[in-house]
């Protein structure tokens, strides 16, 4: 299903963390901070990022 951009940002942060980890570069583990319009101001929201490495899809569903 389609996801809102706010959720896609968190997912992309997880993808980058996994990519760096597989290249041998440790991730900082810092959460993702997004800024949302709140009238004339912006409100920051921090989301934690799961750094669990997920298995390859092919290993989950054998042919």
Pair 26, 18: CB distance under 8 Å? no
42-48 mean pLDDT? 91
User: pLDDT class for 44, splitting at 50, 70, 90?
Assistant: very high
> What are the tens digits of pLDDT across the range 29-42?
888 899 999 899 99
CA 61 to chain CA mean position, Å: 24
Q: What is the pLDDT of residue 25?
A: 94
- Domains in the chain: boundaries: 5-52
Higher local confidence (pLDDT), 60 or 43: 43
Please, where are the H alpha helices in 1-63? 5-22, 57-60
3-class secondary-structure state, position 47 = strand
User: pLDDT class for 62, splitting at 50, 70, 90?
Assistant: low
């Amino acid at each position: 299903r389609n996801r809102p951009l706010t959720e896609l940002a968190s997912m992309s942060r997880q993808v980058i963390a996994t990519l760096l980890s597989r290249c041998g570069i440790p991730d900082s583990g810092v959460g993702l901070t997004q800024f949302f319009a709140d009238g004339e101001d912006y409100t920051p929201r921090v989301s934690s990022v799961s750094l669990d490495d997920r298995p390859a899809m092919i290993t989950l569903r054998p042919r």
